[in-house]
Amino acid sequence: MADSIFNEMYDDGRVRPPYARLEDWVRAMPAALRAMKQAEAEALFRRIGITFAVYGEGGDPDRLIPFDMFPRVFTQGEWLRLERGIKQRARALNAFLLDVYGRGEIIRAGRVPARLVYGNEAYEKAVVGFRPPRGVYSHIVGIDLVCTGPGEFFVLEDNCRTPSGVSYMLENREIMMRMFPALFREMRIEPVDGYPELLRQTLASVAPARCEDEPTVVILTPGHFNSAYYEHSFLADLMGVELVEGADLFVENGLCYMRTTEGPRRVDVIYRRIDDAFLDPLCFRPDSMLGVAGLMDVYRSGGVTIASAPGAGVADDKAIYTYVPEMIRFYLGEEPVLRNVPTWQCAKPDDCAHVLANLGDLVVKEVHGSGGYGMLVGPKSTRAQIAAFAERLRAEPGKYIAQPTLALSACPTFVAEGVAPRHVDLRPYCLVGEQTLLVPGGLTRVALSEGSLVVNSSQGGGVKDTWVLAE
């Protein structure tokens, strides 16, 4: 298996051009200096308090995610292609959402099965027929990608609700620039620090039509006990907007307000970092303490914008994922730039039979799961584990999808013995509002143990800075 793995730094024993300068950099760095730098980076992270788990992965909120100083590098050419593919996908996903909550053309055309969409738990009845400002449902689309060879990218999954981790993209860069300014002077790396302002502009651009002044944008957090609280607070700070909890907001006269020391202040756009189910106890879970009573009524009548829009989750469901290339063709009339990983829907009897017969070679995931839990990595599992999983699969086939194990690319990574290749993925954050925007970079997650394919921070994953070289 090792032979077939694409090493992003070395190709046939030769250093690939984007990494040329880094090879000298590593060679010139003695172990002692490296250790010092690593300690410095950790101290910086701890000091700024960036101790949180990637959303949905749980874990100790005061835990640090390991930061690997070896950056991952893309050439301008590689990135342009990725950018085209990511934006294309983000546009198609939004077109799909607007369509399935509207006329449902893609379903009438027989391109996506009605039941898969309308019967989906994430399909939100309460917003059917509603057209959000600019027709956008998912304002921040996080697309998880893996690379298997030069220029060969596959999309693992889409995140249309509230993809997290962008604060790592920003902090990783900040720390790398502080520690290795010389590299930045020499290598001409595209900046990512414009992201918070672009996010703010994107959110302001989807303010309700009724809002006439400069829109007031807020971030709605479940609170400081949430593992991603740091990110919420970090983004609010960089965007210059208030970070609110549900109890800080209330509705009156068809509008939403926040409670301030000077009395109520109108809120126009809510970037929510809480799930649909908790947004409004009058509309969704009545026991939710995190939401705002009456918020959905205000939203539906155009008094406030919620980003991402309630109901956006139906587009990033793992069962819907298979149809994204179809969406791109249907709505955009284009061929997909980025490929999907071939996926077997265990809900389909034929697919399920194939999966059961080939469990040892496949990765099986829960349709609604996240964080790398409840999944089976066939080639890394024992016979007993496979047998046990087969039982679960037979009991509830509709809960699972399966994919071939891809030969994920590896990037040089600092390990105890020096530098060694480790598997990586990539999550760029695409902004969709008045324009579709993508900062040149993203969050690279790395599986720190040798041979591991699981990059989730809760299971031994770390993060890296992601560089896109200017022309």
Partner 1 sequence: MLSRTAENLFWIGRYMERAETMARLLEVGARIALLPSVGHGYRSEWDSLLQASGTAAGFAAKYGDPVQRNIESYLFFDRDNPSSVASCLERARENGRIVRTALTSQVWDALNTAFQELRQLERQPRSELDLGRMTEWTTRHTAMMRGAIEATQLRQDGYDFLGIGYNLERADNTARLTDVKYYVLLPRADFVGSGLDTFQWTTLLRAMSAQRAFHWAYGGAFTAAKVMHFLILNPACPRALITSAKATTDHLDRLAQRYGQATTAQDRARAQLDALRATTVEAIIDEGLHEFLTRFILETGEIAQSVHDTYLSGEAR
Partner 2 sequence: MILSVSHVTQYRYGSPVRSLVQSLRLTPSVFAGQRVIDWAISVEGASRGASFRDGAGDLVESWSLRGPAEAVVVRVEGRVETTDLNGVLQGHRETVPPEVYLRATRPTLADAAIVVLARQVADQGGEPLALAHRLSAAISEAIAYRPGVTHAHTTAAEALAQGEGVCQDHAHALIAAARVLDLPARYVSGYLFSDAEGDAHEAAHAWAEIRLPGLGWVGFDPANRCCPDARYIRLASGFDAQDAAPIRGIARGMVPGAGGESLDVTVAIQSVQQ
The residues that touch partner 1, with contacts defined as CB under 8 A, are 47, 49, 224, 229, 233-234, 236-237, 242-245, 247-248, 258-264
Strand partners, 142: 159, 429
Of 35, 43, 114, 388, the residue at the interface with partner 2 (CB under 8 A) is 114
Work out whether 367 is an interface residue with partner 2 (CB under 8 A): no
Task: Choose the contact partner of 400 out of partner 1, partner 2, none; CB within 5 to 8 A by kind.
Answer: none
Task: Choose the contact partner of 419 out of partner 1, partner 2, none; CB within 5 to 8 A by kind.
Answer: none
Q: How far is the CB of 178 from partner 1 (least distance, A)?
A: 14
Of 6, 25, 118, 373, the residue at the interface with partner 2 (CB under 8 A) is 118
Is the distance from CB of 430 to CB of 460 less than 8 angstroms?
Answer: no
User: Which residues between 248 and 277 bind partner 2 (CB under 8 A)?
Assistant: 250-255
Work out whether 129 is an interface residue with partner 2 (CB under 8 A): yes
- Of the candidates 130, 116, 152, the one whose C-alpha atom is nearest the C-alpha of residue 299 is 130
Work out whether 209 is an interface residue with partner 2 (CB under 8 A): no
Task: Choose the contact partner of 282 out of partner 1, partner 2, none; CB within 5 to 8 A by kind.
Answer: partner 2
Helical spans, DSSP H, in 121-189: 166-179, 181-187
Q: How far is the CB of 278 from partner 1 (least distance, A)?
A: 18
Q: How far is the CB of 104 from partner 2 (least distance, A)?
A: 6
**Amino acid at position 320, single letter:** I
Q: How far is the CB of 119 from partner 2 (least distance, A)?
A: 5
Name 293's Cβ contacts closer than 8 Å, sequence gap at least 6. Answer: 250, 251, 280, 281, 282
Nearer to partner 1, 262 or 391 (CB): 262
The strand pair at 410-415 and 339-340 is best described as unpaired
Task: Choose the contact partner of 243 out of partner 2, partner 1, none; CB within 5 to 8 A by kind.
Answer: partner 1
Long-range pairs, 208-215, Cβ under 8 A, ≥24: 208/133, 208/268, 208/302, 208/303, 208/304, 208/305, 209/133, 209/302, 210/302, 210/303, 211/268, 215/268, 215/269
Q: CA–CA separation, 331 vs 238, rounded Å?
A: 35
Number of residues that bind partner 2 (CB under 8 A): 34
Question: Sign of the C-alpha dihedral, residues 14, 20, 24, 27?
Answer: negative
First-last CA distance in the chain:
34
The tokens for 465 are: 């800075």
Task: Choose the contact partner of 121 out of partner 2, partner 1, none; CB within 5 to 8 A by kind.
Answer: partner 2
Of 13, 30, 110, 119, the residue at the interface with partner 2 (CB under 8 A) is 119
Nearer to partner 2, 126 or 337 (CB): 126
Q: How far is the CB of 40 from partner 1 (least distance, A)?
A: 16
Fill in the DSSP letter of residue 106: H
Residues that bind partner 2 (CB under 8 A): 101-102, 104, 107, 114-115, 118-119, 121, 123, 125-130, 250-255, 281-283, 286, 293-294, 296-298, 300-301, 303
